[in-house]
Amino acid sequence: MEKEEISISEKRTLSTFPEITWENYISGKLTKGINTYINDHFPFRSYAVRFTESFRYNLGFRLQNAQKIVVVEKPKMEDNSDLAENLDSAAAKQYLDGIDEAYSGSMLILDGKVYTQNAGNPAVSPYFSKMLNLYADSLQGKARVFSCVAPLSSAFIPLPEYEHYSKRNEETLLAIKANLNPGVYFADVFTEMNQHYNEYLWYGSDHHWTGLGAYYGYVAFCKAAGITPVPLTSMEKKVKSGFLGSLYELTRDQSVRDRPDLVETYIPPGIETQAVRYNPYDFKYPQKTRVFCNSANYSTFICGDAPLIKITTNVKNGKKIAVVKNSMGNAFVVYLISHYEEIYVVDFRYSKHNLLKIMNDAQVNDLVFAMGMYGAMSRGTIGMMRNLAYNKNQDYDEVLKREREQKILDSINSIQDTVIVEN
């Protein structure tokens, strides 16, 4: 049967068949490796894993509305450094996205919904603000700069004993606002979402906000930008059921599996769009994509992640915007099509483009940093966003050529090392 290379549900690469050598045989590595390989690849393995989870869940008695804390071990990254090169890009990005953004150490499961037990850190907020201030200084007189950071789902846990998480989320976001220079705009996403706290703002099985949650983030941006938001009631609503996302895959909790999410999309009226995805370095080899995809998971929004996406609309008002985002920004971007003629969507995790050059060449009017708090609370990701201003232009064909040459060189060195060891 065809073998899978990764288990997205377990967030790890599956084992490969061990090398048959005398050394492996004597040491026992060969038989151990074969045993591990069989465990990872026996027929209908995924169904057996699901059955085992269901069987264990139904043992004994369960209380109604019971709370549960699940501690998730962070997967090791060193074994998956070349994952994106070896796998289908969509699967690789879903895998990496789950590791990079969904993990928070421990999670609360309540009524079949998973909440992260993390609430940001006001002490880190100034670093994010400083990065936005630098962009505002570079773009002074050319484009406006906005902060549009979403809180975590922990801000909306519906139990009084967890109110401290909500306060911590708010303090973290207000600390971003307090450290922005005059002229840098702050979208108060927390306040806007908190006014609708009892609505379907977050998926119960995934770390992203829903289409409705993202809409309120868009409303907060519109208020900061002086734009009139499109009323939700005037949009076409589409719903798909059966979505189980990253937090289910991390916790593997049966109560979450029994309550799959709905994927709701709200489509603004009268807007025609064309969308193109680009490679990480330049504008070669464009691929057509869409703003709304026919998917039953979060990739319904702009068809998932890409280093750079350009969206062109029939809104002929000359306004253009660049959106720097992680995956949380995907559901936010779709609402901007009603207000801008061109939208440049830059994923700071994958793009090697020079953001300032894109904005200068296209004469972009607005720059918004739209993301989940995970992206704004890490010095590493803040550095990635800052580096978008300093990336050197590179030819994609030359990059691919250097990578091929390096792989050949690595293979030669590996063969030489093997010969030396055996001799």
- Per-residue pLDDT of the chain in tens (423 residues, 90 and over written 9): 666 776 655 555 677 888 888 888 888 888 888 888 887 777 766 666 666 656 665 555 454 556 777 766 554 433 333 333 333 444 444 434 444 554 556 889 998 999 988 888 999 999 999 999 999 999 999 999 999 999 999 999 999 999 999 999 999 999 999 999 998 999 999 999 999 999 999 999 999 999 999 999 999 999 999 999 999 999 999 999 999 988 888 888 889 999 999 999 999 999 999 999 999 999 999 999 999 999 889 999 999 999 999 999 999 999 999 999 999 999 999 999 999 999 999 999 999 999 999 999 999 999 999 999 988 988 888 999 999 999 998 998 998 898 888 888 877 776 666 555 555
Residue 295 lies in a domain: yes
Q: Are residues 388 and 409 in the same domain?
A: no
Count: domains in the chain: 3
Fill in the amino acid letter for 38.
Answer: I
Q: Are residues 289 and 321 in the same domain?
A: yes
Q: Are residues 400 and 332 in the same domain?
A: no
- H-helix or E-strand spanning residue 6: strand 6-7
Q: Are residues 386 and 402 in the same domain?
A: no
Q: Are residues 369 and 417 in the same domain?
A: no
3-state DSSP: the chain helix, strand, coil percent, rounded to 5?
Answer: 45, 20, 35
Using CA atoms, how far residue 336 sits from 161, 191, 225, 322, 331, in Å, is 37, 20, 12, 11, 10
Q: Are residues 370 and 418 in the same domain?
A: no
Q: Are residues 250 and 324 in the same domain?
A: yes
* pLDDT at position 98: 42
Fill in the amino acid letter for 192.
Answer: E
Domain range for residue 39? 1-60
Q: Are residues 388 and 401 in the same domain?
A: no
Q: Are residues 194 and 130 in the same domain?
A: yes
Q: Rounded distance, CA 337 to CA 42, Å?
A: 47
Q: Are residues 36 and 142 in the same domain?
A: no
Q: Are residues 293 and 332 in the same domain?
A: yes
Q: Would you say the pTM of this structure is higher than 0.75? A: yes
Residue 78 lies in a domain: no
DSSP letters, 178-219, are: HTSPTTEEE--HHHHHHTTTTSS-B-SSSSSB-HHHHHHHHH
Helix (H, G, I), strand (E, B) or coil at 27: helix
Out of 26, 60, 94, pick the residue that ends a domain. 60
Q: Rounded distance, CA 3 to CA 14, Å?
A: 9
Q: CB–CB of 72/105 below 8 Å?
A: yes
* pLDDT at position 102: 47
Q: Rounded distance, CA 281 to CA 403, Å?
A: 14
* pLDDT at position 374: 84
* pLDDT at position 82: 38
Q: Are residues 417 and 369 in the same domain?
A: no
